[in-house]
Structure 1
Amino acid sequence: MDLDSAQKTPWREGSSLPGECFPSALEQAFSKVLHRLTSQGPRRGSGRHVALQDLGALIEATECDRLFEGSGTPLRGIPETLGQVAKALEKYAAPPKDEDGRADGHSEVADKAAEVGLLLLKLLGKLEAAKNSLVCPAWKTGLRHLAGPIYIFAITHSLEQPWASPRSQNVAGKVLTLLLQVTECGSVAGFLRGENEDEKGRFTVIMGLLKPYLNKESWKNNPAIKLVFSWTLQQVTRPWLNQHLERILPPSLLISDDYQIENKILGVRCLHHIVLNVPAADLLQYNRAQVVYHAIFNHLYTPEHDLVQAVLLCLLDLFPVLEKALHWKGDAARPTTHCDEVLQLILTHMEPEHRLLLRRTYARNLPAFVKRLGILTVRHWKRLERVILGYLEVYDGPEEEARLKILETLKLLMQHTWPRVSCRLVVLLKALLKLICDVARDPNLTPEPVKSALLQEATDCLIVLDHCSQGQVKSLLAKILQSCEDSKVVNCMRKVQQVSEGAPYDAI
């Protein structure tokens, strides 16, 4: 019987041809299906659909022991061909470049994904049967060729994305679940890094499959590749990640350097994960930490609050790594650090900033910088004071996030730099009392819980200010208490008065 009949009819007519053919003939049948899946002819759409139907029938009709046996050579055989078929299926279902939000394009991708997912479920079912069979020891070879492409397909279509539909997500989720079952992995992290210390895991294989699509010329051809890379990277943590640093750092830098904001954010989050999960010694080697720092520092000039937030979180975890390379000699002034440089830029941006989302983003991260620098924050006192006074005057919406964080910043600043506080007593006291009066007299703009939080934070700042000025705040407030009639303002002042002079300010 010729090859055409082996490919087109026997498994549909119920004959036992796949079992009767020599393995090489079965391999050729799969190769023909592969050729039709990858064909670039004018009628490739309908031809691929028919090829998918033939592939499903061929998988169903072939016994698992025939499906995963080789041809006797180490580099060829049905398992290798099936791996190529799985790659072709993953590529067939991948979302195309520049869909421009077209709903019809999205639905077409989702339909393809659901169809391919059902085929992969059949293939994984055969693999599971082969694993449980005593007469098919070659199933591991099949798994080695199939696991990577099937994983990429499953992650591409199980994530919440424009090209996914509830049906395609459901099928892709089942594919991922069955893949983990076949590989005897309890989680995706275990699948990637290995369930045991002596097990290698498949992260290297996955990165090898993604690498051709993660270069400057091709990474945007498939919009799912960056998401698969990012999601996969997030699953591998310390201590497994550092051995893959050369594979994961360049794509992360590439994505973060894009002109689209969503890609910048995605790339910065990948870099942040690397910073958190790779030892400092590896990041300092070959100046990698400096490369990461310079790659994301310039993003702080972008007026996009989500990007700024991602960059600041990454930088705050990168500073300890960068400072490991600094050596301070006690007889000289401490050198300025990368943290100083970033704080200086943030304060420069904060002073004239009028956009609420950016103001909140800057204020949200300011306390972490004061904690990081400690006593060295004194270098930035004048500019910090201007920012703090300016932000305390401006209403920030019902949640008052910016003003609450600015009050936290002021409290930390006074605690860390208390010798410099007393000379600024009058300015700070006026600002805090004005804030307390404004909040107390606010008729309805701010919810009561938020008002209470603001008044409590402002009171705490007054107590710290009193300790830093050796009790001068108490004496000044005693005069105001005699003439003040607002109960909320009086309550705050009495709290300050009631604090024992001997109480340590850092206990507040």
Structure 2
Amino acid sequence: MKLDSAEEESRGVPSPLAEGSPSTLELAFSKILHGLSRPESGQGNARTAVLQDLGALIEAAECDELCEGTRSGDSLRGMPEILGQVAKALEKLAAPPKEKAEGGDGHSEVAGKATEVGLLFLKLLGKVEAAKSSPACPAWKTGLRHLAGPAYVFATTHRLKQPWTSPRSQRVADEVLSLLLRVTECSSVAGFLCGENEDDRGRFAVVLGLLKPHLNKESWKNNPAVKHVFSWSLQQVTQPWLSQHLEKILPPSLLISDDYQTENKILGVQCLHHIVINVPAADLLQYNRAQVLYHALFNHLYMPEHHLIQAVLLCLLDLFPVLEKGLHWKGDAVRATTHCHDVLQLILTHMEPEHRLLLRRTYARNLPAFVRKLGILTVRHLKRLEPVIIGYLEVYDGPEEETRLKILETLKLVMQYAWPRIPCRVVVLLKALLKLICDVARDTSLTTEATKCTLLQEATDCLILLDHCSQGQVKVLLSKIVLSCEDRTVVNCIRRVQQSSAAVPCDDS
């Protein structure tokens, strides 16, 4: 679009090209921006008209004109700044509305708006890409800097399958993200957010700045996409880049995890887990942050949701080393009860009466990791562990038998770490293991033969280890059973125990 001011000059009107005066293109974009800001612009014909005018304006403008600006101190203002404001208005226009309490999702028109907005972002980024290849327009980086953040937030909001997206809107959003990465010369989203060289500081801070107004206690649920954009973007940023943003990412993660909806709790815990893994322990210990994280996670252990429990336990296992770095222990004093002890005690308390299979699997799946973590200190929990192990070995857990296999793994670890306390429990554990072997041998359910073989193998290994811990007591007891047993599978397992060597190393650390 070529600017012609001769007519205005002939009437004594100052030329828009005069220094410090807005150009005709700036005025046109400002008018469009005003139209996008009106409440009615998001509805029907009014929206279509404004977006059509904007599309025509972008197509008519020259590449260099869109990136030109007036010099103000050390920064360029004018068109780049206006383009950034237009981009923010477009992203806001395509954002999904707050979910309605009365059952309507409020998302029926969002996909259509997102498709229209995505096509405009493609035109804008296409102009910047053309300006980039033009030697006459060195200011293209300024225009891109204002466009990149809103374009990224838009693309991240609509590129994945969500209630407010459609296949077409997802495709357009994917194209926007691909073009954005190409224009910014980034090979990945992580590179876009973190920077791919020393001169590029990345754009994660810009994205967080755009999300910040929507991530406080009063407003974070007004736009259902914000939590997903924040979570997905956060998990693209790893160490060493993440620690510099800790003050901005920790409060929203805690806020999301503290919600009453299980879906949001899990999303928040996943964000916290990413922070724990990718932020140095020294930064997490500063200002008591690690303790805040621990208490927030510990409270979730009272929720009977297996997906949430799984996410929380994985996060806690990675948080324990951080918390332990903040403890000071003197060898001549009794070692203080650590956070891991408290968590395991609560888990065992919940495990014993638990009857829901999904929760039982989740607890059993993570139990070996806690025993490995505590090592010989597992002896503090033997009174609680014993009934849990025996009770869980008795219950069929479906074709894959995940719970029983994990409990057998736990039992092996307990015997290796706490072997001096095992001889007094030989009879109880022997009965439980023999009962398991008999149950599996007679099992006519859908359990595969491979799973049955694995169960029998693991149970037999436990018997062998139990025999070594008890200095041969198990062999003596089994010698009487084998004479009267008629089940060939059971007899084979007993024979393996009797034929085992007398020296299997136990962990005496």
Q: Determine if the TM-score, normalized by the shorter chain, exceeds 0.5.
A: yes
Q: Is the 8 A contact 2:40 2:47 kept in 1?
A: no
Counting only pairs closer than 5 Å after superposition, residues 30-69 of structure 1 correspond to structure 2 as: 30-41=29-40, 45-69=44-68
Shift of 1:210: 0.7
Q: 2:41·2:47 contact (CA, 8 Å) conserved in 1?
A: no
Deviation of residue 107 (structure 1)? Answer: 3.7
Q: Distance in 1 between matches of 2:469 and 2:161?
A: 53
Matches within 5 A, 1:465-476: 465-476=466-477
CA–CA distance in 2 between the matches of 1:72 and 1:392? 75
Are the aligned partners of 2:35 and 2:41 in contact in 1 as well (CA < 8 Å)? no
Report the Cα offset of residue 102 of structure 1: 7.1
- Does the Cα contact within 8 Å between 1:23 and 1:66 map onto a contact in 2? no
User: In the alignment, what sits opposite 1:361?
Assistant: 362
Q: Secondary structure at the match of 2:107?
A: helix
Instruction: Give a deviation string over 1:79-104, Cα, whole Å, max 9, x none.
Output: 11010000000000000001569788
Equivalent pair of 1:107/1:165 in contact (CA under 8 Å): no
- Residues 275-316 of structure 1: CA deviation (Å, up to 9, x unaligned): 000000100000000000111111111111111111111001
Aligned partner of 1:442: which letter? D
Cross-structure match for 2:25 = 26
2:349 matched residue in structure 1: 348
CA contact (8 A) 2:76 2:142 kept: no
3-state DSSP of counterpart to 1:327: coil
Match of 1:250 in 2: 251
Aligned pair 1:481/2:463, yes or no?
no
C-alpha offsets along residues 141-186 of structure 1, whole Å, 9 cap, x if unaligned? Answer: 0011000000000000002211111111110000000000000000
Tell me, in whole angstroms, the C-alpha distance in 2 between the residues paired with 1:273 and 1:333. 34
**Unpaired segments of 5 or more residues in structure 2?**
6-15
Aligned equivalents of 1:270 and 1:68: distance in 2? 37
Seen in structure 2, the aligned counterparts of structure 1 residues 55 and 417 have a Cα distance that, compared at 3 Å, is: same
When residues 503 and 347 of structure 1 are mapped into structure 2, their CA distance, relative to the original with a 3 A threshold, is closer
Give the total of aligned pairs. Answer: 490
Paired residue secondary structure (2:366): helix
- For residues 426-441 of structure 1, the aligned pairs below 5 Å read 426-441=427-442
Q: What SS does the corresponding residue of 2:233 show, helix, strand or coil?
A: helix
Q: 2: CA distance between counterparts of 1:248 and 1:296?
A: 17
Report the 3-state secondary structure (helix = DSSP H, G, I; strand = E; otherwise coil) of the residue aligned with 1:342: helix
Does the Cα contact within 8 Å between 2:149 and 2:206 map onto a contact in 1? yes
Partner of 1:196: 197
Instruction: Please tell me the root mean square deviation across aligned C-alpha atoms, in Å.
Output: 2.0
Amino acid at match of 1:52: L
Amino acid at match of 1:56: G
DSSP 3-state at the match of 2:58: helix
Question: 196-205 vs 236-245, which deviates more?
Answer: 196-205
In 1: Cα distance, 2:41 partner to 2:171 partner = 32
Match runs of 1:263-282 below 5 Å:
263-282=264-283
CA contact (8 A) 1:463 1:505 kept: no
Look up the equivalent residue of 1:70 and give its one-letter code: G
- For each residue in 1:14-33, what CA deviation from the matched residue of structure 2 results, as whole angstroms up to 9, or x when unmatched? xxxx99xx961110100110
Shift of 1:198: 4.1
Of all paired residues, the percent bearing the same amino acid is 77
Structure 1 residues 67, 198: closer, same or farther in 2, change over 3 A?
closer
Per-residue deviation, 1:54: 0.5
Q: 1:70-219 counterparts in 2 under 5 A?
A: 70-73=69-72, 74=75, 76-99=77-100, 105-219=106-220
Please give the alpha-carbon distance, in whole angstroms, between the structure 1 residues aligned to 2:111 and 2:103: 13
Q: Identify the residue that residue 464 of structure 1 maps to in structure 2.
A: 465
After TM superposition, the structure 1 stretch with the greater mean CA deviation from structure 2, 99-108 or 207-216, is: 99-108
State the one-letter code of the partner of 1:392: L
Counterpart of 1:208, as a letter, is G
What secondary structure, in the 3-state scheme, does the structure 2 residue paired with 1:195 have?
coil
Task: Quote the offset at 1:399 in angstroms.
Answer: 1.4
Retained in 1: the 8 A contact 2:98–2:106? no
Q: What residue number does 2:13 align with?
A: none
For the residues of structure 2 that align with 1:251 and 1:76, how far apart are their CA atoms?
32
**Unmatched segments (≥5 aa) in structure 1:** 7-17
Between the aligned partners of 1:281 and 1:134, the Cα distance in structure 2 is 48
* TM score, norm. by length of structure 2: 0.93
Q: Distance in 2 between matches of 1:304 and 1:24?
A: 59
Q: 3-state SS of the aligned residue for 1:71?
A: strand
CA distance in structure 2 between the partners assigned to 1:289 and 1:43 by the alignment: 44
- Structure 2 partner of 1:222: 223
* In 1, Cα distance between equivalents of 2:416 and 2:165: 52
Decide which moves more: 483-492 or 103-112.
Answer: 103-112
Deviations 1:173-208 (A, max 9, x none): 000000000000000000000001442111111111
1:265/1:306 contact within 8 Å kept: yes
Using the alignment, how far apart are the partners of 2:91 and 2:430 within structure 1?
65
SS at match of 2:152: helix
Separation (CA, whole Å) in 2 of partners of 1:213 and 1:147: 19
Structure 2 Cα separation of the partners of residues 393 and 167 of structure 1: 52
Q: Judging changes above 3 Å, is the alpha-carbon distance between structure 1 residues 379 and 302 closer, same or farther for their aligned structure 2 residues?
A: same
- Cα distance in 1 for residues equivalent to 2:162 and 2:343: 34
Alignment correspondent of 2:12: none
**SS of equivalent to 1:72:** strand
What amino acid maps onto 2:364 in structure 1?
A
For normalisation by structure 1, the TM-score amounts to 0.93
- SS of the residue aligned with 2:98? coil
Q: Does the 8 Å contact 1:69/1:79 carry over to 2?
A: yes
| Deviation of the 1:457 alpha carbon | 1.1
